[in-house]
Homo-oligomer: A and B are copies of this chain.
Amino acid sequence: MITVEQVRDALRGVMDPELGRNIVELGMVRDIAVEADEVSFTFALTTLACPLQDRMVADAREAISRLDGNLQVAVRRVEMSKEEKEQLLGQAKGEKEKPLAERMNEIRHVVAVMSGKGGVGKSSIAALLAVLLRRQGNRVGVLDADITGPSIPKMFGLHELPKTSPLGLLPVETKTGIKVMSINLLLQSEDQAVIWRGPLISGAIVQFWSQVFWRDLDYLIIDLPPGTSDASLTVMQSIPISGILLVTSPQDLAGMVVRKAAQMAFQLNVPLLGLVENMSYVTCPKCGERIDVFGRSQALETALQLGVSFLGRLPLDPEMSSLCDAGQIEDYAAEAFKEIGEQIVARVPDTVAKPVFE
């Protein structure tokens, strides 16, 4: 004979398509009873006008019948009380809870890409890492924490306005299915300046984490702006980061600023995954000469000084620049990045950055 627990487990396979979670997790399944060949339960909906209820009920019947095809299934539909609804939607009065999206999201690893210095290709590396992880079959998101100089949407050719849902803002998906949230997706024009002081910058970043409904992600990549001020502080203090990837260029001038960024991570106790050198050299397309455009590489010394792993060098590639401008970074073969990217992934701690919602 079928047990109540077996029924409950079977119903975990039924999703509320709007809320993106199974109906058991959402507290919608109550009073399961099994008597002879009949299973009954109460299905508490947020509203009896829910247009998706028939589909969910059909899914529930199907899931239970898979336990035993001869079972009769009786479903009593009720509407949640106002309090139950508020609790589900995270607006319970007097209770300072996390926003609904943050409670609903299940994000396994959060990798922040940081440099301290601008223009060393943080955003390119963040995008290449996201593309690599996606090609490996992962569910990947990119949170663009550069509020005043966001580059991510342009690289992926995104212009769509993010949609809203009862659970929060929905990230925009790239053509290969990478989820992206960036201030530039919310502006009327990508050229519009965001002239905000620190508290607004921080507020936007916190919202991108807690009020964007990322759903389940294997990896969330955060593209940090230059500097060790508000944006970096907020990311390190408010988001559970698995590790920080440092990006530098060959110049010692960049190295100096990257060492500042590393100091910040040390002070805030966020693990460093390693250091990548970008823009290391250019190969002359005519004669094949390797040109050290930014002088002699200093990245290995910097990594040694910091006691972090040196993960490799990436050349400047005009093709990559052009694909970024064209919004086609997903079409870039990125052969030179493959090994570096795999090294990064291997170093991400296998811990869940955030407890699973339940």
A residues with CB within 8 A of B: 116-120, 147-149, 151, 154-155, 190-199, 201, 225-230, 232-233, 249-254, 256-257, 259-261, 263-264, 267-268, 282, 284-287, 289, 291-296, 298, 316, 318, 321-322, 324-325
Contacts and interface: CB of A to CB of B under 8 A. Distances in A.
B119 A117 contact: yes
Contacts of A148: 116, 226-229, 260
A226 to B, nearest CB: 4
A225 B227 CA distance: 9
13 contacts: A117-B118, A148-B260, A151-B257, A154-B253, A191-B256, A194-B260, A196-B229, A197-B230, A197-B233, A198-B199, A286-B289, A293-B316, A295-B322
Contacts of A284: 284, 286-287, 289, 291
A295 B325 contact: yes
B195 A257 contact: no
A195 B233 contact: yes
A250 to B, nearest CB: 8
A3 B147 CA distance: 65
A198 B119 CA distance: 21
B267 A195 contact: yes
B197 A118 contact: no
A229 B197 contact: yes
